[in-house]
């Protein structure tokens, strides 16, 4: 994920070495819990100067924002109220097939062609005959298994459309290269410090099959739901097998140096180069898919670590860096999806995660 944002003066914590002033900073208390403790995590609203802990907000904030921050009362167009700091449940996207097809730009593929591709995918799963060599079994990635009921798939897509619309993003299932950011030519897996593992040819074919299925509306069996504490989060809508490709992490590709002070809490490392000026991140704030809404574990507690059911892996795919979220165990229907946000590059603050 993105680098930790430096602490800003908007909290009641005094900068290191600053003298204690009699400006009644110590009188600031959290509007939600009433405590003045944890000063470094007690935000001061830029509109009303009221205080709120980042972990008392609903949904919580993982860290202190870098830019201006307004409490829910000041940010809301409705009259101010001290009663609740809980964000409103987002408006649901219409469960109308034509609107969903247009939103996701689903391609209408002839039934026969779709069946042929599905059959081809099944053929690759068959074990070859002949003599079997005794060797360590290689674990291959699996394509997701869409829900059989078309109406159920519509509900799944509508849930993602709801989340994207509420966050002001548009759907994209590919990495995007925008003028003024990093060019596609900058995405070179060969620049990865220490090297990057190559995705085997058969797994590349499985990834491409998943992309084709999504293009024609055969969706991963996932629902985006809204939780008062976690915000948008994702849960399995049917049983998912270990090693199933859940999704690729996508968004605008930019240089890390351009985003060091960015407030976005969903940035993902794409390329960690030996030269920091060549390192790349994925920024899903404007264009994204369901990966943006999959939450991280609290890796400060044993119970938090037990929740992890996905792994986030960066691969060299035809010379370019790609990021995949893959099931690292069997996942039951109704189980929420989590992975570890903390890679080797940055320490992401997860101590207040559920």
The model's pLDDT over 306-337, given as tens digits with 9 standing for 90+, comes to 889 999 999 999 999 999 999 999 999 999 99
More confident residue, 5 or 209: 209
- The phi, psi pair for 164, rounded to 5°, reads -65, -45
Residue 115: per-residue pLDDT = 54
Residue 134 has pLDDT above 60, yes or no: no
pLDDT at 264: 66
pLDDT bucket at 294, cuts 50 / 70 / 90 = very high
Give the up-direction half-sphere exposure of residue 232: CA atoms within 13 A in the CB hemisphere: 22
The predicted model gives 266-284 an average pLDDT of 92
Model confidence at 298: pLDDT above 80: no
| pLDDT at residue 26 in the model | 58
Phi-psi region of 320 (alpha: psi -120 to 50; beta: other; left: phi over 0): beta
Instruction: Single out the residue of 235, 64, 228 nearest to residue 160, CA to CA.
Output: 235
pLDDT at 284 over 50: yes
pLDDT digits (tens, 9 = 90+) for 8-44: 333 433 333 444 444 455 578 888 888 888 787 888 8
Distances (CA, A) of 24 to 14, 20, 29, 37, 68: 12, 10, 11, 15, 22
Strand partners, 351: none
The domain made up of 28-79 is a member of CATH 3.30.40.10:
yes
Cα angle at 299 between 264 and 9, to 5 degrees? 45
As a whole number, the mean pLDDT across the chain is 80
Beta pairing, strands 280-283 & 51-53: unpaired
Q: Where in the chain is the domain with CATH 3.30.40.10?
A: 28-79
Q: What is the pLDDT of residues 33-89, one digit of tens each?
A: 888 887 878 888 888 888 888 777 776 776 777 777 788 777 765 544 444 444 567
Which of the listed ranges 134-148, 213-227, 291-305 does the model predict with the highest average pLDDT?
213-227
The CATH architecture one would assign to domain 97-101+140-339 is Beta Complex (2.170)
Could you tell me where in the chain the CATH 2.170.270.10 domains are found?
Answer: 97-101+140-339
Radius of gyration of the chain, Cα coordinates, nearest whole angstrom? 22
What gap in Å lies between CA 171 and CA 224, rounded to an integer?
14
pLDDT of 116:
56
pLDDT at 192 over 80: yes
Tens-place pLDDT, residues 166-180: 999 999 999 999 999
Q: Is the pLDDT of residue 135 over 50?
A: no
Do 147 and 219 contact (CB within 8 A), yes or no?
yes
Checking if the pLDDT of 92 tops 70, the result is: yes
The mean per-residue pLDDT over the stretch 143-172 comes to: 95
284/354 Cα distance (integer angstroms): 23
User: Per-residue pLDDT for 131 more than 50?
Assistant: no
């Amino acid at each position: 994920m993105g680098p930790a944002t430096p602490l800003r003066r908007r909290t009641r914590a005094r900068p290191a070495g600053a003298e204690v002033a009699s400006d009644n900073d110590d009188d600031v208390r959290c509007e939600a819990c009433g405590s003045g403790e944890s000063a470094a995590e007690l935000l001061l609203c830029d509109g009303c100067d009221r205080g709120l802990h980042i972990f008392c907000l609903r949904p919580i904030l993982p860290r202190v924002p870098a830019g201006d921050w307004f409490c829910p009362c000041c940010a809301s167009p409705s009259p101010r109220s001290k009663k609740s700091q809980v964000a409103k449940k987002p408006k649901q996207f219409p469960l109308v097939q034509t609107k969903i097809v247009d939103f996701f730009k689903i391609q209408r593929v002839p039934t026969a062609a779709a069946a042929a591709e599905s059959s081809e995918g099944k053929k690759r799963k068959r074990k070859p005959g002949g003599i079997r060599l005794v060797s360590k079994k290689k674990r291959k990635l699996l394509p997701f298994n869409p829900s059989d009921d078309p109406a159920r798939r519509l509900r799944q897509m509508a849930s993602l459309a709801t989340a994207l619309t509420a966050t002001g993003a548009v759907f994209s299932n590919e990495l995007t290269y925008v003028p003024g950011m990093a060019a596609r030519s900058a995405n070179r897996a060969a620049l990865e410090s220490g090297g990057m593992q190559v995705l085997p040819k058969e797994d590349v074919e499985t990834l491409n099959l998943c992309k084709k299925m999504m293009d024609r509306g055969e969706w991963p069996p996932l629902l985006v739901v809204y939780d008062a504490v976690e915000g948008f989060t994702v849960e399995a809508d049917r049983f998912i097998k270990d090693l199933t490709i859940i999704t690729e992490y996508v968004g605008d590709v930019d240089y890390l140096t351009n985003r060091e002070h960015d407030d976005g809490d969903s940035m993902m490392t794409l390329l960690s180069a030996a030269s920091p000026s060549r390192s790349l991140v994925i920024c899903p704030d404007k264009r994204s898919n369901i990966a943006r809404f999959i939450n991280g574990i609290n890796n400060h507690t044993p119970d938090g670590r037990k929740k992890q059911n996905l792994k986030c892996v960066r691969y060299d795919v035809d010379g370019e860096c790609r990021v995949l979220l893959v099931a690292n165990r069997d996942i039951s229907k109704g189980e929420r999806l989590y992975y570890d946000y903390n890679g080797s590059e940055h320490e992401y603050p997860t101590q207040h995660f559920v």
